[in-house]
Chains A and B, each alone.
Chain A
Amino acid sequence: DAGVIQSPRHEVTEMGQEVTLRCKPISGHNSLFWYRQTMMRGLELLIYFNNNVPIDDSGMPEDRFSAKMPNASFSTLKIQPSEPRDSAVYFCASTTGLRYTEAFFGQGTRLTVV
């Protein structure tokens, strides 16, 4: 397996534009997590899905952020409209539970909003 795949690796956009980050989890993993990492706030959990269903979105900062997981192999995190304070590295991770648990991260998307 190629691991967790995120795209794009880097994104630069202008304030007010819509941004969509993408994640492909490891095949067979049943939970998917979105994190935001900044120097000031560290690694923040934004939302996670289990079997494609959003379980906890309490970490989503505001209504400008939305996430979907239409199937087991794809998830998106959308910011509309984007603001400079959204600039961060966004990570996706996937895990599987029950007896044998592994948890792996994608390489992250560095988002810069100017």
Chain B
Amino acid sequence: AQTVTQSQPEMSVQEAETVTLSCTYDTSESDYYLFWYKQPPSRQMILVIRQEAYKQQNATENRFSVNFQKAAKSFSLKISDSQLGDAAMYFCASLDNYGQNFVFGPGTRLSVLP
């Protein structure tokens, strides 16, 4: 079974600074997908970034980037130039190649300090 771990229940960052959220996972699959989702107080689950395990290049989406270390089964999220609107719960998730086994970590609550 796939498992996802986020070891940081809470993090804080100063506005305009950079923060990294950690995620580790365990899977026996060779092909899979990894995601970071953001959940603001509105509770909507918003896809932040997506990484295919077969791609060595780290995914980037504007101020969001990942550090994907396949051998270490690590998938951290870096948020650059943090903004007040980035404050939210962040969930790391894995999904197998068939679109099944969609497993989430416990989440990290990010606060952005003005």
Contacts and interface: CB of A to CB of B under 8 A. Distances in A.
B100 A31 contact: yes
Secondary structure call for the A interface: strand
Given A42-B106, A43-B104, A104 B47 contact: yes
Interface of B: 33, 35, 37, 43-45, 47, 50, 52, 91, 93, 95-100, 102-104, 106-107
Interface of A: 29-31, 33, 35, 37, 42-43, 45, 48, 50, 55, 89, 91, 93, 95-98, 101-105, 107-108, 110
Secondary structure call for the B interface: strand
B98 A50 contact: yes
A101 B95 contact: yes
Contacts of A35: 104
Given A45-B103, A48-B102, A55-B100, A103 B95 contact: yes
